[in-house]
Amino acid sequence: MTDGSPHVYLPRSGTDDFSVLRYDLDLDYRVATNRLDATATIRARAEVPLAAIVLDLVHLKAKKVRVDGQKRARFTQSPTHLRITPAAPIPAGTEFVVEIAYDGSPVPRRSRWGTLGWEELTDGVIVASQPSGAPSWFPCNDRPSDRAAYGIRVTTEQAYAVLATGEPTGHSVSGGRGTWTFEREEPTATYLAAVQIGRYTLEPRRSAGVEWVVAYPSALAQRVLHDFEPVGRMLESFQDLFGPYPFPSYTVVVTEDPLEIPLEAQAMATFGSSHADGRSGSERLVAHELAHQWFGNSVGLASWRDIWLNEGFACYAEWLWSEVSGGMSAAAHARIHHAALRLKPGALVLGDPGPDSMFDDRVYKRGACLLHALRMRLGDETFFDLLRTWTRENRFRTVTSADFEALAERFSEEPLAAFFDAWLRRPQLPALGH
């Protein structure tokens, strides 16, 4: 499938032929040997008549497959896909259940954006799937618009703590192994499902009505507790600016290993020891990842071409946090980054940057500059009312740039078609405005 874009972003990932309603993942993992034995139970609905069910699965081996409880379903497997043939075609509109037993030694998926998915740390595991790494640890329909509920059960060595997508619902120990269970009812994209395993201390907090937890190696306690203290104030400020925090809780994980960049997941963000220097050196990134809970995770992408709706908004949230916390104003950040964008070589179409450029820094900064230019046009009161309406009306939905343009028109006294055309569909950088 394609996502309707002139560029083909992930042509071999996911399908529109069916929609997943819920994933139940039972993962038995051995850190010492990087061995995964797992079962995935997938409840889905056929959107077209299905003679075959095709799921994304990379590097791991399916052992047994059942469809709707039948004894065994026939299946074949390529390096990137699992193709299942039910006993009879599944009519459009019909719900069905697929159970897949699979195993192997999970490794990250190689892509044009680097390695993605399940990755071993020095002593533990991280999952960083954006945009196409989810099939490195479970069979799935890997497209951003197909969002589902999750139940995740992880069993591993007793010494490790597990944090995964969902609210924790149980933890038990037996025979030197710990089992952790999680439930996520809010619709979640496959790339935002995650498991983090490590020797972590878990410290619960509550700020601005939101339960949150920070998980960290005990040796990093002083640095982590200093650098992530602002999360509570960020939760308060962002709820004022963007509307209520959309999930029941928030989890921050800091790994013992350094990481190049933080990793977003549903109601979770993972940082490396390199992001906890004890001097607040990564505060803007802490704000960025928290902002994704509104922009990208609650309000999600219908297709990757509109990734500026995730990254431009989260980048602008960095500037807003600077402004409300006594640092440089968002206007000053916008002027500085707009000037820098003018000096960067090459053209970029923000509303369809293409797969090679979807994580280009220009997407982040130009998207944030668009929002600041829109703020100057609308005025602060109207602009922030627009943002809160955007998060409220699209809570747990997927959206496109056209949706945001249409909503912005409702808040503007003058037409915005030329404004959005210049910022989103033309490569030349527009003026920031007055």
Q: What is the C-alpha separation between 286 and 307, in angstroms, rounded?
A: 19
Q: Nearest 5°: phi and psi at 140?
A: -160, 170
Cα distance between the two ends of the chain: 43
Q: Which of 200, 216, 250, 364 is catalytic?
A: 364
Peptide bond into 131 cis (omega under 30): yes
The reply to whether 245 belongs to the active site is no
Report the Cα 271 to chain-centroid distance in Å: 14
- Is 381 known to sit in a ligand binding site? no
The reply to whether 364 belongs to the active site is yes
Name the nearest CA neighbour of 265 among 251, 283, 279, 244. Answer: 251
- Is 288 known to sit in a ligand binding site? yes
Cβ atoms 253, 265 nearer than 8 A: no
How does DSSP assign 201-254, residue by residue? EEEEEEETTEEEEEEE-GGGHHHHHHHTTTHHHHHHHHHHHH-S-SSSEEEEEE
Cβ atoms 355, 304 nearer than 8 A: yes
Q: 244: which residues sit within 8 A by CB, 6+ positions away?
A: none
273's tokens: 């020891």
Q: What is the C-alpha separation between 113 and 98, in angstroms, rounded?
A: 31
The number of residues in the chain equals 434
Identify the residue whose tokens are 């989890």: 251
In the chain, the amino acid numbered 95 is: E
Q: Which of 200, 289, 316, 318 is catalytic?
A: 289
Please report the beta strands in 353-403, taking only residues with DSSP state E, as ranges in sequence order: 398-399
Q: What is the C-alpha separation between 391 and 88, in angstroms, rounded?
A: 42
Half-sphere exposure of 307 (CA within 13 A, CB side): 24
| Region class of 277: left (phi > 0), else alpha (psi between -120 and 50), else beta | alpha
- Is 292 known to sit in a ligand binding site? yes
Residue 316: helix, strand or coil by DSSP?
helix
Distances (CA, A) of 178 to 30, 120, 254: 11, 19, 21
Residues that constitute the known binding site: 288, 292, 311
Catalytic residue set: 289, 364
Residues that constitute the known binding site for Zn(2+): 288, 292, 311
